[in-house]
A = this chain, B = another copy of it.
Amino acid sequence: MDTSLYINGTLDRYTNGSVSIPRMFGKIALEEAVGSTLWDAYQTLPVTAQVAGYKGVPFDDSIGADIISRLNNVPARITSMDQSGIGYVIVSLTSPGIEGVFDTANATRLATASNDEMYKNYVQAYPDRFGFFATVPMQDPEAAATELERAVTQLGAKGVLINGYSQIGSADNYTVQYLDEKACDPFWKKVDELNVPVYLHPRPPPPSQQLLYGNGAYPMLAHAAYGFGAETAGHALRLMLSGLFDRYPNVQIILGHCAESLPFLIHRIDTRLAIGVPGADGPYNKTMKHYLQNNFYATLAGIRRLSTVRDTIEEMGEDRVMFSVDYPYESNEDAADWFDYVEGLGVATKEKLAWRNAERIFNVTSG
């Protein structure tokens, strides 16, 4: 008999004001950023600009430095994963990534090189601990399709991560392209053919649409706290409204941050759309709710609140929600301590979120 179930001696105890955490080992995380050594040579938004200095983001300097230092520090990442019970991570190139590269030719070269680098530094070096999402040059959707195919079939990429809209042109004169636009169809055709998910990652709204900047009153940081997610939710709605999921009903999109609040709002979006003129707001055939429940996965990246997670599960189903962190922008340890301890999800549900769903979707195992 396993007597470890029993309390011996006394129910009384001295509290040190903390509770120990029953660490769940083997978690899988999906929204985990890495940098690139290739970027500094280019005249576009550098990866590091996202962290410190981008339009004067008032990040605490030491936090900024700390995050940058950890983007490419593989041993530190593995140590942190070990401490946090994270067995397997699918890495991806940090925002804005290739999508922020103005020049299409540069974007294409950088995407290929970045994929090779992620493969070599993570997947090949630690096949039991890392997979990767490819990055592709959406500035040229045909090239994006080609690179996606190479990354998936030759490098074993688990899918592709896109940082929102792409900037095409030059820093002085560029257009913004969303994924629902007609030009992107070759990309979606390939996604459908390869049957891999697309992680739609937040990026700041285009400068002209930056909500909290209203009259320049508040800095980028406040914007990041809310505006990035709103931009991404809007982008996801554009995909739904465009009829993409009617043309490709098997395409699967992953959204972080519990689907960027769409579970909270989707029923209302549908009731509002239903009072319109059929067809006037997009060539879609089903409800937004249907698409959210059949063409989207959600991750917990950045989320540490029970009701937000329950709300997401209730809308999307517990087979479509997955743990994630957003390392190094969030702490593996904080995310794991919260997730491993939190009540109210049930053991079976937590195991699905922690690893079972990711194992099924990405065909991986996490010991």
Contact = CB atoms under 8 A, between A and B. Distances in A.
Nearest to A331: B11
Contacts of A274: 5-7
Interface in A56-103: 57-63, 66-67, 70, 76, 80, 83-84
Scoring A276, A280, A293 by chain B CB atoms within 10 A of each residue's CB, the highest score goes to: A276
Contacts of A11: 63, 66-67, 275, 328-331, 334
A181 B215 CA distance: 9
Contact of A10 (B1, B12, B66, B264): B66
Contact of A217 (B80, B180, B209, B264): B180
A267 to B, nearest CB: 4
Given A5-B287, A7-B60, A222-B282, A311 B302 contact: no
Interface in A278-315: 278-287, 293, 302-308, 310-311, 313-315
B209 A210 contact: yes
Contacts of A84: 15
A348 B60 contact: no
15 contacts: A5-B274, A7-B274, A12-B333, A14-B83, A15-B333, A178-B215, A211-B234, A212-B237, A225-B272, A230-B233, A261-B261, A268-B302, A268-B305, A316-B346, A317-B346
Given A57-B276, A209-B211, A211-B231, 9 more contacts: A5-B273, A60-B277, A177-B215, A217-B242, A261-B265, A267-B305, A293-B348, A314-B349, A320-B348
Q: Which 9 A-B pairs have the closest CB atoms?
A: A317-B348, A58-B280, A225-B272, A15-B333, A10-B66, A225-B269, A211-B234, A9-B62, A230-B230
